[in-house]
Amino acid sequence: MYFSKYVKIYTCCLALLGFCAGNSAAQQAGPALIPMPRSVKTDTGSFIFNAGTLIRTDVKEQHAVDYFTGQLFSRWKFNNKVATGTTGDGGLVITTNGAEQLPDEGYRLSVTPAGITLTGRNVGLFYGMQTLLQLFPEPANGAVAIPCVTIEDAPRFGYRGLMLDVSRHFFTVEQIKDLLDMMAYYKLNRFHWHLTDDQGWRLEIKSCPELTQVGAWRVPRIEFGGNTLPPQPGEKATDGGFYTQEQVKDIIRYAAERHIEILPEIDVPGHSMAAIAAYPELCVTRNKDIKVNPGSSFAKWFPNGSYEMYEDNSLNPTDERVYTFLDKVFGEVAALFPYLYIHIGGDECYKGFWEKDAAVQSFMKMHHIKNTHELQSYFILRLNKIIQSKHKKLIAWDEVAEGDVKDSITIMSRFGEKAAISQIRKGLDIVLAPGGNGLYFDYAQSTSDQEPSSHGGDAPAWKAYQYNPEYSSLSAKERKHIMGVEACIWTENIPDVSKLQYMMLPRMLALAETGWSDETAKAYPRFAGTALPLHLERFDKAGINYRVPTVFNYTDSTIATGSFRFEVAQPPVQGARIYYTLNNRPPGDYDHEYTAPVTITVPKGKTITLKTVVITPAGRRSIVTRTVLDNSHKSENK
């Protein structure tokens, strides 16, 4: 789905990103919290926090307080004393007293000039600490002034997820931990780990060692977009990697300390080329020449979304050895991962090799299976029994909800409203991850050709922000089937952390608010105009890569006008400068700097092209926007 590159808007009231911002508005908007809490009441004054502020707590789980003091030390070099018990005055009190009535994951935070009180239980306390950390400004003279505020908070959805594909490109244990830290800071609580695909099997399975000895490695290629050379005869597979079970346990522990549960995905029966490269007997063609795919083309995709594969990447659903294999793999996965759900993929399974195979056809006849779609259902139901035998629940992509679903399965729903409603009306629970609503972070963040390589599409942060998964046609009862939301990061075009950060930020912050904040608490002007600039400033200082927002929502547009007021209330990154040209050149820091509103007059019969760029204190640049101010419109020139 591609949008027209040049969005033509014949109106003068095109929204500028920071239009509703401004310092006084920023103050009125309250603290720059993301995600926005359920209720924020600001007050005058502040509490002065420094290394001498005593922390008093009755919280039994010492590690929760340790996590908080660890953050204070690593970020502000504050080494505060912690006292057991809450008697006494002032300081910071972290307490479970009065938390019984709070909703799941909820907390209450009160900052007065006399002291701070954080009330909650377990994960609620953890999120209260994250909010408190977001209230900490940069220290001046060894102290921070925390503005007085009363916050009551709890999440909208229980499932607030982020999926990372580590098959197309591998990410190390440390890189995954950094990602988990970032998720926790923004109150995301489910890490969906896409561990296997055609381009690499990334999880050690002790009973099937070739899965990682062979399946984790592919021939090295620079580009990955389908035009690369397939593996050549005798070429060594040196590119890849995998996680040992010990490393996975370490990551699970790390995530659990941050109240993040990990949803592992083993993608079957399609997307299984890496497994087949290790064990060719798992597919109907038993082709021993199949290698882990290095990003070369192995399928033809048609405009209607159908596809034809030249290489077999589907498991054989009629072979008992496949179920023995799956029992071993999912047995180890179930033993390793504590989370109730296991994702089994189920997407984009090519059935052409099944259709051509005589043994498969006679199996179908014998079992009264009418077509290969029913055969995939047979596979999914068999696998569901395996998953249930491990005391786990199966979750999978949309395709497994096609047809007559009798078993209890859960859907990771990516096709949008119509599919989601149909899944819910079959009685299924779903997590919503629709790419069309901005939740595929491998899509480009605008339609501009200056965006780095992507899976196409157009998924600006505001789309992810404005997405409301509670579709209006659903009844209150039907809405209960919505577990939450998730964004997916497919990594065909994401070879490293720098690109990962660019594609993820700031969209992940929009996701955080879509998952956590009540619809009534969401307001894009507050998010983008006043909260986001401060969070992006923090990334800028911390050397974290991100996409610098532009000052226009539409990066290419035409406005029919003879006079245009170019006005930006606040740069999209705190401290950034905005430069522009009116002569069609891409602007740089030697061009006009925007310092105050500018009225651009366009002579009759002419056009003027306004180009803008945002340059941050760290030197990061936005893409260049192009706004054609058009006074040549025929109706106006008569």
Q: Show which residues are catalytic.
A: 197, 271, 348
Instruction: For residue 69, count other CB atoms closer than 10 A to its CB.
Output: 16
Tokens of 502: 């660019």
Tell me how far, at minimum, the Cβ of 431 lies from ligand ACM, in Å: 12
Q: Compare residues 347 and 402 and give the one whose CB is closer to ligand ACM.
A: 347
The closest alpha carbon to 599, from 634, 625, 561, belongs to 561
Q: Which residues from 331-360 bind ligand ACM, rule CB under 6 A?
A: 347-348
Task: State in angstroms the smallest separation of the CB of 446 from ligand ACM.
Answer: 21
Contacts of 167 (CB under 8 A, 6+ apart): 194, 195, 196, 197, 198, 199, 200, 201, 202, 274, 491
Structure tokens at 214: 């062979």
- Judged by beta carbon, residue 397 or residue 502, the one nearer ligand ACM is 397
**DSSP calls for 328-374:** HHHHHHHHH--SSEEEEE--S---HHHHT-HHHHHHHHHTT--SHHH
* Residue that is written with structure tokens 């064990």 in the block: 279
Output the smallest distance, CB 168 to ligand ACM, in A: 11
Residues 437-496 that bind ligand ACM (CB under 6 A): none
Q: Which of residues 302 and 590 has its CB atom nearest to ligand ACM in the complex?
A: 302
Give the separation between CA 150 and CA 115, rounded to whole angstroms: 12
Give the shortest CB-549-to-ligand ACM separation in angstroms: 26
SS3 636: helix
For position 168 contacting ligand ACM by CB under 6 A, the verdict is no
- Write the burial class of residue 104 (CB in 10 Å: 0-12 exposed, 13-18 middle, 19+ buried): exposed
Distance in Å, CB of 397 to ligand ACM, minimum: 5
Residue type for 573, please?
V
Q: Please say which residue, 99 or 500, places its beta carbon nearer to ligand ACM.
A: 500
Please, which of residues 381-420 interact with ligand ACM by CB under 6 A? 397, 414
Burial of 257 from C-beta contacts in 10 A (0-12 / 13-18 / 19+): middle
Reference 434, options 420, 419, 418, 414; nearest CA is: 414
Q: Is 560 helix (H, G, I), strand (E, B) or coil?
A: strand
- Please work out, in degrees rounded to the nearest 5, the angle formed at the alpha carbon of residue 8 by the alpha carbons of 7 and 9: 115
Q: Which is nearer to ligand ACM, 1 or 222 (CB)?
A: 1
Give 440's contacts (C-beta < 8 A, 6+ positions apart).
414, 433, 455, 457, 459, 487, 488, 490
Q: Minimal distance in Å, beta carbon 208 to ligand ACM?
A: 24
Can you name the residues that pair with 152 across neighbouring β-strands?
39, 108
- The pairing of beta strand 7-8 with beta strand 556-560: parallel
Q: Which of 156/414 has CB closer to ligand ACM?
A: 414
Q: Is the peptide bond before 269 cis (omega within 30 degrees of 0)?
A: yes
Which residue, 272, 30, 264, is CA-closest to 161? 264
12 with 559: CB under 8 angstroms?
yes
Residue with smaller CB distance to ligand ACM, 485 or 576 = 485
Minimum distance from residue 604 beta carbon to ligand ACM (Å): 50
Minimum distance from residue 612 beta carbon to ligand ACM (Å) = 34
SS3 content of the chain, % helix, strand, coil (to 5): 30, 25, 45
Token code pair at residue 431: 């997590």
Residue 243 Cβ vs ligand ACM, minimum distance, rounded to whole Å: 21
The torsion region of residue 36 among left (phi > 0), alpha (psi -120 to 50) and beta comes to beta
Nearer to ligand ACM, 31 or 295 (CB): 295
Instruction: Evaluate whether 272 touches 282 at the Cβ level (below 8 Å).
Output: yes
Cβ distance 188 to 510 under 8 Å?
no
Query: Closer CB to ligand ACM, residue 347 or residue 417?
Result: 347
In the complex, least distance from residue 492 CB atom to ligand ACM, rounded to whole angstroms: 11
* Contact (Cβ atoms closer than 8 angstroms) between residue 482 and residue 515: no
Minimum distance from residue 357 beta carbon to ligand ACM (Å): 24
For ligand ACM, the closer CB: 168 or 611: 168
Number of shown-chain residues binding ligand ACM (CB under 6 A): 4
Non-local (6+) Cβ contacts of 476 within 8 A are: none
Residue 499 near residue 493 (C-beta atoms within 8 A): yes
Of 397 and 527, CB closest to ligand ACM: 397
Evaluate whether 42 touches 106 at the Cβ level (below 8 Å): no
Where along the sequence are the contacts to ligand ACM (CB under 6 A)? 347-348, 397, 414
